[in-house]
Amino acid sequence: MSGMSDVKARVTGAVDALEGRLRAVSREIFEHPEEKFAEVRASRLLADDLRAAGFEVEVGTAGLPTAIQAVHPAAAPGPTVAILGEYDALPELGHACGHNLIAAGALGAAALAVASVKRELPGRLLFLGTPAEEGGGGKVVMIDAGVFRGVDAAMMFHPASFTAVDHGSLAISEVRLEFHGVAAHASASPDQGVNALDAVIQTFNGINALRQHIRDGARIHGIITNGGAKPNIVPEYAAAEFYVRAAETAYRDELLGKLERCAKGAALAAGASFSMSEISPPYKAMRPNRALGAAFTRNLESLGWTFDTKDLPFGSTDMGDVSQAVPAIHAYVAICNRAIAFHSRDFVEASRSERGHRGMLAAAKAMAMTAVDVLTSPDLARAMQAEFRGE
């Protein structure tokens, strides 16, 4: 086997050589945004490139039509490293979370860079295409189906307004609240109506009162999805969707119970009936593997990047569930200035910008080098496992 630094120079060189292709993949996914579980075009595009790079590709893994499990054929005894790609977009905004860059960066790292040297390395290389991160929990379904069994390290990068690797995420639950009342003419016979919209409004008021009494960093936020049909009909059906988030899964569940009590109280006051249901599998909080993160940090720093530590925003991701199942990192790589929020119109622009693509290429290189570290360093593999087991 050639020296480690030589292998790393070759994987970064492979990313450089395929820069044009990776930019094209990112642009193609950006220009055809597909929402959760409908990423048909993106998954086909990635699967074709993975096949061309010699991977054994399965589309439709875990019963999800747009999930991908791709295995490099050069498997030898040693660790298994998985590089993950997301490719779903948001309603109305399109690629306001930069998943087009995630997909292209993961493809570049796994398929094009590490695959080019894989025959010289021990272990197994996987590319996992994970649909529906924006609600839907593709990774949760894939974990439950056993896709991560035997994986020693899982990694992905996410474009952001900052660069960080040991940054956590919030556990999240997504629920729908539904209220049923009685329709009646709102002017001629309002006394015969039971107003389901009142129950929704009182639920928001109850939750707004609750905010004074919740821990810092927890989040409860919702929208009204059904608020009645016409002003002259007392709304017989109204509904809202809420996300509840907290740093710890147990506290998230406690807050979910409080939200349910607010809604039940509101329904009781309005005389409406009430039900609550899950919209998506809940996501666990991210538990970044520090040993793996340190390797990624060294590799990104070797490309001249520095890291941010102050005032980093917290979101939620189904990579949290992966990190509770196997040693994992979810690295953030800066593609815009710190003032720009995820899921904003400005982040859409950043996701197709030159700076966005430079970030994607740097992330692909750092992930490829980190995959080489995992495959070739028994010390790193031991440190990751010891940390993961809490030793």
Which structure tokens are listed for 176? 């729908």
Please name the helix (run of DSSP H) or strand (run of DSSP E) that holds residue 17, with its range, or none.
helix 4-17
The DSSP letter of residue 284 is P
Question: If 0-12 CB within 10 Å is exposed, 13-18 middle and 19+ buried, where does residue 237 land?
Answer: middle
CB of 27 to Zn ion, least distance (A): 18
Cα–chain center distance at 104:
15
In contact, 294 and 120? CB cutoff 8 Å? no
The residue whose Cβ lies closest to Zn ion is: 97
Closest among 166, 169, 162 to 139, alpha carbons compared: 169
Phi first, then psi: give them for residue 286, nearest 5 degrees: -75, 135
Q: Which range binds Zn ion by CB under 5 A, 38-46, 90-98, 222-230, 331-339?
A: 90-98
CB of 224 to Zn ion, least distance (A): 24
CB of 133 to Zn ion, least distance (A): 6
Kindly tell me which of 160 and 295 has the beta carbon lying closer to Zn ion.
Answer: 160
Q: Which range binds Zn ion by CB under 5 A, 46-54, 97-105, 250-258, 362-370?
A: 97-105
Q: Which range binds Zn ion by CB under 5 A, 23-31, 94-102, 171-179, 210-218?
A: 94-102
CB of 140 to Zn ion, least distance (A): 15
365: three-class secondary structure by DSSP = helix
The per-residue b/e assignment along 50-80, b for 16 or more CB within 10 angstroms, e otherwise, is beebbbebebebbebebbbbbbbebeeebbb
Q: Which range binds Zn ion by CB under 5 A, 42-50, 51-59, 95-103, 292-300?
A: 95-103
Kindly tell me which of 155 and 239 has the beta carbon lying closer to Zn ion.
Answer: 155
Which structure tokens are listed for 179? 């209220």
- Distance CA(302)–CA(201), nearest Å, equals 53
Size of interface with Zn ion, in residues (CB under 5 A): 1
Q: Which range binds Zn ion by CB under 5 A, 57-65, 91-99, 208-216, 286-294?
A: 91-99
Kindly tell me which of 197 and 360 has the beta carbon lying closer to Zn ion.
Answer: 360
Strand runs labelled E in 86-218: 124-129, 153-160, 171-180
CB of 66 to Zn ion, least distance (A): 16
224: three-class secondary structure by DSSP = strand
Q: Which range binds Zn ion by CB under 5 A, 23-31, 58-66, 89-97, 196-204?
A: 89-97
* Contacts for 17 with CB less than 8 Å, ≥ 6 apart: none
Kindly tell me which of 97 and 368 has the beta carbon lying closer to Zn ion.
Answer: 97
Which structure tokens are listed for 239? 């509904």
* Contacts for 257 with CB less than 8 Å, ≥ 6 apart: none
Q: Which range binds Zn ion by CB under 5 A, 39-47, 92-100, 246-254, 304-312?
A: 92-100
Q: Which of 25, 97, 286, 364 binds Zn ion (CB under 5 A)?
A: 97
Kindly tell me which of 47 and 132 has the beta carbon lying closer to Zn ion.
Answer: 132
Site string for Zn ion, 209-248 (x = CB under 5 A): ----------------------------------------
CB of 158 to Zn ion, least distance (A): 6
Angle, helices 196-210 vs 249-270, to 10°: value is 140
Which structure tokens are listed for 223? 């929208």
Kindly tell me which of 86 and 166 has the beta carbon lying closer to Zn ion.
Answer: 86
Kindly tell me which of 88 and 178 has the beta carbon lying closer to Zn ion.
Answer: 88
Kindly tell me which of 97 and 177 has the beta carbon lying closer to Zn ion.
Answer: 97
Kindly tell me which of 14 and 97 has the beta carbon lying closer to Zn ion.
Answer: 97
Please name the helix (run of DSSP H) or strand (run of DSSP E) that holds residue 333, with its range, or none.
strand 328-334
Applying CB under 5 A, the residues found at the interface with Zn ion are 97
